[in-house]
Amino acid sequence: MNAPELTEDERLGLYLRRTATGAEWWRVSIADRPQTWRLEHGVQDGEVKGAVDIDLVVDAENLRAKLKKWHREGFVFEARDAGSTADAKQRVSFMPELQRATSAAAQQRANSVASAVQTVRIGHVDVPCGVPGPLVPRVNPAYLFSERFNDIVEDIVENKRVMLIGHTGAGKTSLIEQVAARAQHGVVRSNMNGQTTVGDFVGFWTVKGGATLWVDGVLPTAMREGLWLIVDEIDFAEPSILAALTAVLEPHGRLTLKEKGNEVVAPHPAFRLFATANAVGAMSQFRHLYQGANLMNEAFLDRWRVYLLDYLSPAEEADVLVRTLAPHMTPALAATLAAIAADCRAAFAREDLSSAFSTRRLLDWAELMLRTGDPERAAGPAIYAKVSPEDAALIRGIIRHHIAPAG
Ligand SMILES: Nc1ncnc2c1ncn2[C@@H]1O[C@H](COP(=O)(O)OP(=O)(O)OP(=O)(O)O)[C@@H](O)[C@H]1O
Ligand SMILES: [Mg+2]
């Protein structure tokens, strides 16, 4: 008698053959790749469930052959493996269900944004507009919104706390500023790698004309006025500043000004909070390059959406060079310069170079090169003088590899 043809689901479960001392079994479950099955085998002595001694993954044809063979050998389908069948059903239905949920959520977001007064489209996202004012950054028409930025822009619309991590000059600050510039939101920045005190950040009492008055710090100012606050280099912040921030990291989190009789500051709906860091989380491996950076604890990081911003791809960077230095920067010149930057970054990743090669540095070098007509001379102030002599020699070698001296 032939083994019956079974549906994909029905093949799942336990196949058992009684032996003199116990039983021998095969278990069929769904494997990781589509159209593959996992086969486990074991021998059971008495009541003791034996260990798995064979564990393999097969395709449909192979599974059919095995089922026939087990049938011939006297294995009997013992039990539909409730666990694996349920798992298998859930496994298959998860993505379609998630896709339905995602499009319903997108529709809901689109409806709520559509009801906002005015929006501007940035990448794939409609961003509600603020009002013009002196703190709105200037639009950089050469700025390139990469595909990768869509999630971040979406988070800004949804009022998530966004932390951007990445090497210096990768584009962390400019991304936030360029979204703000296009949607007309005022931006204030507070750099933690310097003299920022908790007084500057939260506020302080001062005496003026005989009267004592309170001066709001940058955090309550941004919260009250609906500005976008960028806490730059947050991995250098004092613990007291991080403590003040933590309260505000919750959605609609309020700030209590303890020094001002516990006055509570509620966030304006347009208020947004951002942080940038070079050496946090996934960037911790580069901490030696950013001396003095603190490790941030996980509970603090968990209150943010943390995005690792890598440098633009060579094609994107060449595009930025052409747009920024139009009309003189040609696509061919730009492609070579972007390739040099990519090679320098690869050398940095191999730890042959100890300095990162930022987009800022590349743009500056290119601009000076267009003025001097001499890549080597332009590299002096734009690159070599900023790095060690060893790094300068290596970068000079990379440049010469790409640019033959003028004949
Ligand atoms: N997507 C982009 N399109 C155009 N220019 C870009 C882009 N990303 C970065 N740049 C250029 O690179 C410069 C450096 O970027 P930015 O200041 O945002 O880097 P950063 O990551 O904040 O650096 P740091 O860690 O040193 O603060 C910008 O001023 C801008 O000229
Ligand atoms: Mg920055």
> Do 204 and 215 touch, CB atoms closer than 8 A?
yes
The answer to whether residue 125 sits within a structural domain is no
Model confidence pLDDT, tens digit, residues 13-25: 889 898 888 889 8
pLDDT-flagged residues of the chain (< 50): 1, 3
Round to whole Å and give the CA distance between 176 and 284: 22
CB distance 359 to ligand 1 below 6 Å:
yes
Rounded to the nearest angstrom, the distance between the alpha carbon of 192 and the centre of ligand 2 is 11
Structure tokens at 351: 């730890």
Its pTM stands at 0.75
CA–CA separation, 43 vs 25, rounded Å? 6
pLDDT of residue 230: 97
Is the domain of 324 the same as that of 303?
no
> For the stretch 21-59, what's the b/e string if a residue is b when 16 or more beta carbons lie within 10 angstroms of its beta carbon?
eebbbbbbbbeeeeeebbbeebbbeeeeeeeeeeeeebe
Shared domain for 292 and 348, answered yes or no, is no
Whole-Å CA distances, 188 to 39, 106, 230, 274 = 60, 30, 6, 10
Please indicate, yes or no, whether residues 296 and 320 belong to a single structural domain of this protein: no
Q: Which residue spans within 161-262 are E strands per DSSP?
A: 162-165, 187-191, 203-208, 211-216, 228-232, 255-257
Query: Does the Cβ of 165 fall within 6 Å of ligand 1?
Result: no
Q: Give the tens place of pLDDT for each residue, 108-120.
A: 777 766 565 799 9
> Is 81 in the same domain as 145?
no
Q: Please identify, by atom number, the ligand 1 atom nearest to the C-alpha of residue 177.
A: 18
Is the CB of 144 inside a 6 Å radius of any atom of ligand 1?
A: yes
SS3 190: strand
Asked if 65 and 137 sit in the same domain, the reply is no
Residue 350 belongs to domain spanning: 314-402
Q: How many CA atoms lie within 13 A of 331 on its CB side?
A: 3
The 3 state secondary structure assigned to 107-142 is HHHHHHHHCCCCEEEECCEEEECCCCCCCCCCCCCC
Contact 336, 394 (CB under 8 A): no
Cβ of 293 closer than 6 Å to ligand 1, yes or no, is no
For residue 170, tell me if it sits in a domain.
Answer: yes
**145 alpha carbon, closest ligand:** 1
pLDDT reported for residue 1: 45
Are 300 and 366 in the same domain?
no
Q: How many domains does the chain have?
A: 3
